[in-house]
Structure 1
C-alpha cells in the first residue's frame, strides 16, 4: 500500500495538485507575514517569512519533478525547512492554546497545514537526489536563520508566547538539528530504493 502511494505521488495529476496547493499556501503565508515584514529592516527580509519560504523551496522542487528534473539544492532546503517549520508551527500553536486556553480557527488551520508541510517533505524524499554538499548548504541556511530570528529578534510574532522566547529559541535550535538529521536519514543514508520520476 505504501509503495503504491509513493508511486502515486509522481503522477502528473498529483504533482500538479500538490504544486497548486503549495503555491496558494506560499502566497497566503507571505500575506500572513505582511505586517511584520513592513516593520522588518531590509537586510533581514529574506529570513523572516520562514514557513512560506520553506513551501516556496518545495514549489521549485515540484516544478523540477514536473519537468523530470531534480533541483538538488532546492530539495535539500525544502525537506529541512518543511520539517522544521512544519513542526515548529504546530508546537507554537499548541503552546498558544495551552497558554491562553483558546485558539482562533486560523490557529487550527495552521496546525493542519503546517503538519502537512512536514509530511509532504518526507513523503517525496524517495525522489530527491541531493548530495551531502547540498545538505551542508541547507544546514548553514537553517542555522543562520535561527541566529537571525533569536539573536537579532526577527522571529515570527506569537504575542502570548513572547515571555518564553529564550526557551523557544533553544527548542528551535534543536529542532533545526533534528530536521537536518531527518533530511540526512531519509535522503542520504536511507537504504530505501531511489525511485525515478520517469
Structure 2
C-alpha cells in the first residue's frame, strides 16, 4: 500500500494525471456542445456533469503540485468523480443493452469514467477536507440532480428517454453514496489517518 501511495504522490505521476484530466475535461465539454447550445443560460453551470467533475479534480491536482490543499475542490471532486464516473459507466452499458449497439466512443467513456470514479477515492487519503466542505459539496451535487431531473437538463442518451424517472432515482442515490464516501474519509482524517505531499 505504501508503494501505491508513493506512486500517487510522485510529481511525475501527478503531472501525467493533470494532463489526462485536463484533456478529458476539454473533450467532455465538447461532448456536451450540442446540448449546451440549447440550454438556458441559468442552467449552464449544471449541465456538463462529468467534465465539471474532472475540472474539480484538475484543481485538486494543481494544488497538490503546489504542495497545497484546496479542500472545497477535494470534497466536490471525490463526490462528483464517483457519482458521474459510475453513472456514465452504467448509462453506456444500459445503452448497449437497450439498443443492442454502442459506438466506440461509448466503450472509451466506460473505460475513462471507470477510472474517473476510482481516482478521487485513491487520492482521498491526501485530502484535508472537513465536514462543512463535504456538506457544501453534497448540496451542490443534489442541487445538480434537481436541475437535471426536475428541470429536465439531464445528459441525453439515445434509447434511454423512457427510463428518465428510474435514471433520476438512480442518480440521486449515487449522490448520497458519493457524499457518504466523502464523510467516511472526513472521519478518517479526524483519526489522524492522512497523508501529505510535503
Relative to the length of structure 2, the TM-score reads: 0.97
Residue matched to 1:195: 195
Residue matched to 1:65: 64
Determine the C-alpha separation between the residues in 2 that align with 1:160 and 1:111. Answer: 17
Consecutive unaligned residues of structure 1, counting only runs of 5 or more, are: none
* CA deviation profile, 1:84-109 (whole Å, cap 9, x unmatched): 00000000001001101111110000
Determine the C-alpha separation between the residues in 2 that align with 1:172 and 1:125. Answer: 22
Calculate the aligned-residue CA RMSD, in Å: 0.9
* CA deviation profile, 1:151-189 (whole Å, cap 9, x unmatched): 00000011210000000001110111011001111x212
Residue matched to 1:77: 76
Cα distance, 1:193 vs structure 2: 2.4
Determine the C-alpha separation between the residues in 2 that align with 1:80 and 1:192. Answer: 21
Does 1:169 find its partner at 2:168?
A: yes
Contact 1:86–1:118 under 8 Å retained in 2: yes
Contact 1:87–1:118 under 8 Å retained in 2: yes
Determine the C-alpha separation between the residues in 1 that align with 2:8 and 2:155. Answer: 32
Q: 1:141-152 alignment to 2 at 5 Å?
A: 141-152=140-151
Q: 1:178-189 alignment to 2 at 5 Å?
A: 178-185=177-184, 187-189=185-187
Relative to the length of structure 1, the TM-score reads: 0.97
List structure 1 runs of 4+ shifted beyond 2 angstroms: 190-193
Structure 1 residues 138-147 or 97-106, which shifts more? 97-106
Q: 1:148-159 alignment to 2 at 5 Å?
A: 148-159=147-158
Residue matched to 1:39: 38
Contact 1:126–1:192 under 8 Å retained in 2: no
Cα distance, 1:129 vs structure 2: 0.2
Determine the C-alpha separation between the residues in 2 that align with 1:150 and 1:6. Answer: 38
* CA deviation profile, 1:26-58 (whole Å, cap 9, x unmatched): 000000000000000000000000000000000
Determine the C-alpha separation between the residues in 2 that align with 1:95 and 1:10. Answer: 36
